[in-house]
Amino acid sequence: MSVENVPDPKIIDPGDVILRVTSTAICGSDLHLYGGFVPAMKKGDIMGHEFMGEVVEVGRDVKNLRSGDKVVVPFTISCGSCHHCNVEEFSLCDNTNPDAEACEAAYGAATAGLFGFSHLYGGYAGGQAEYVRVPYAEVGALKVPRDIEDDKVLFLSDIFPTGYMAAENCKIKPGDVVAVWGCGPVGLMAIKSAYMLGAERVIAIDRFPERLAMAKDQCGADVINYEELSVLEELKKRTGGKGPDACIDAVGMEAHGTGLQYAYDKTKTVLMLETDRPIALREAMMACRKGGTISVPGVYGGLLDKLPFGAAFAKGLTFRMGQTHMQKYMKPLLAKILEGEIDPSFIITHRIKIDEAADAYEKWQKKKDACVKFVIKN
């Protein structure tokens, strides 16, 4: 990872705008690219899919934006007119991934293009930059009030809608207990959202004290440090023996673990005999109550070993997952921010300049300096 000078982006398609980026964040998904877990990155690729800024140039087909507008851009690039966009499955858009063949070969079908997310997802230049080209801007870029601080609305670009969709996928009913693996930015947003959607109690699982403290103090969750307690035993104990009604895996493919299981997955991924380390997912499948739901916002990339599918079958579990259908959630969640129901900026621990970005990646990967979220300010 390095910070380099590159040519400024230009309008290529009449549906583009050029954005001067004012704030951009580093995401847990960036770590999967940084860690080499997602193939199809090329030298010189520009990272970044969580960004906002000021429109400085507008393509001739973009009718709803003007130079000077302040906008937040979703990480999914969607055409707004294909079947999937029409049914609000924006991350499954049929038309925005120029690498459709590679994606089809890997997954059986191509999904939407994503900013800064490898040549499986279109190879689009990302927004951890001073300027970025935003294709299909009319469908994606959301205008926000000029006087609102960037920090309050920046996370509409990904993690707030992602946490919200993860909670919505749990189909929460009054009295429900939701367990959330991972107290990173996505997990914390999922906890907040689960309460907004009516969960009675959220139990959050991680090992970093600063993250568990945020889950407890800022989001109102009960917490479990998985290095100190057995997660399966604790969840049973805290739910009267039946298990949580819904389980959210906000960890994804690079889970950490204790004991033999972690050694197994580490060795198999190093030997390329397995692509992902599904430690949190296995635990969620075992913990979930009969008839419950597993919601997976955490990203998985390929082939997972030793998933207790028999347990999922026997208990009749429902699985919901995927990249977030961003454009469906941005407007209603902006309204919640403007009404004061939530201020997602509480997760920001580090504000940096772009020159410090390469160093920030290293810190973020190792969770040094008690970091929870890095925001780059231009």
Ligand X SMILES: NC(=O)c1ccc[n+]([C@@H]2O[C@H](COP(=O)([O-])OP(=O)(O)OC[C@H]3O[C@@H](n4cnc5c(N)ncnc54)[C@H](O)[C@@H]3O)[C@@H](O)[C@H]2O)c1
Q: Footprint of ligand X on this chain (CB under 6 A)?
A: 27-29, 31-32, 158-159, 162, 181-187, 205-208, 211, 226, 250-252, 255-257, 279-280, 297-299, 323-324
Instruction: Please return the burial class of 11, using the count of CB atoms within 10 Å of its CB with bins 0-12, 13-18 and 19+.
Output: middle
Whose Cβ is closer to Zn ion: residue 250's or residue 317's? 250
Give the nearer residue to ligand X in terms of CB position, either 171 or 207. Answer: 207
117 vs 181, beta carbon nearer Zn ion: 117
Question: Which residue type is seen at 308?
Answer: P
Cβ 177 to ligand X, closest distance in Å? Answer: 17
For Zn ion, which residue has the nearest CB?
Answer: 27
Q: Given the complex with Zn ion, which of 90 and 131 has the nearer CB atom?
A: 90
CA gap 254, 275 in Å, rounded: 10
CB-based contacts of 130, cutoff 8 Å, min separation 6: 20, 21, 354, 378
The entry of ligand X, Zn ion, none that residue 181 binds, CB within 5 to 8 Å by partner kind? ligand X
Retrieve residue 86's tokens. 């029409």
User: Residue 185 binds which one of Zn ion, ligand X, none, with CB within 5 to 8 A depending on kind?
Assistant: ligand X
Angstrom CA distances, 337 to 69, 97, 152, 198, stand at 19, 31, 7, 18
Say which entry of Zn ion, ligand X, none residue 82 contacts (CB below 5 to 8 A, set by partner kind): Zn ion
Query: Residue 324 binds what, of Zn ion, ligand X, none (CB under 5 to 8 Å, by partner type)?
Result: ligand X
DSSP 122: T
Question: Which residues lie below 8 Å from residue 174, measured CB to CB, with a gap of 6+?
Answer: 198, 200
Least distance to ligand X, CB of residue 290, Å: 22
Residue 299, binding choice from Zn ion, ligand X, none, Cβ under 5 to 8 Å by partner class? ligand X
User: Strand, coil or helix: what is 294?
Assistant: strand
Using the minimum distance from each CB to ligand X, give the nearer residue, 91 or 95.
Answer: 91
Q: Name the site residues for Zn ion (rule: CB under 5 A).
A: 27, 29, 78-79, 82, 85, 93, 95, 158
Q: DSSP character for 324?
A: -
User: What's the closest the beta carbon of residue 179 comes to ligand X, in angstroms?
Assistant: 10
The minimum distance between CB 7 and ligand X, in angstroms, equals 29
CB 367 to ligand X: min, Å? 7
> 77 forms bridges with which residues in the sheet?
113
Interacting partner of 211 out of Zn ion, ligand X, none (Cβ under 5 to 8 A depending on kind) = ligand X
Q: Distance between CA atoms of 85 and 91, rounded to whole angstroms?
A: 8
- Residue 154 or 255 with smaller CB distance to ligand X: 255
DSSP notation for 44-97: TPPP--EEEEEEEEE-TT--S--TT-EEEE-SEE--SSSHHHHTT-GGG-SSS-
> Which is closer to ligand X, CB of 131 or CB of 164?
164
Round to whole Å and give the CA distance between 353 and 333: 28
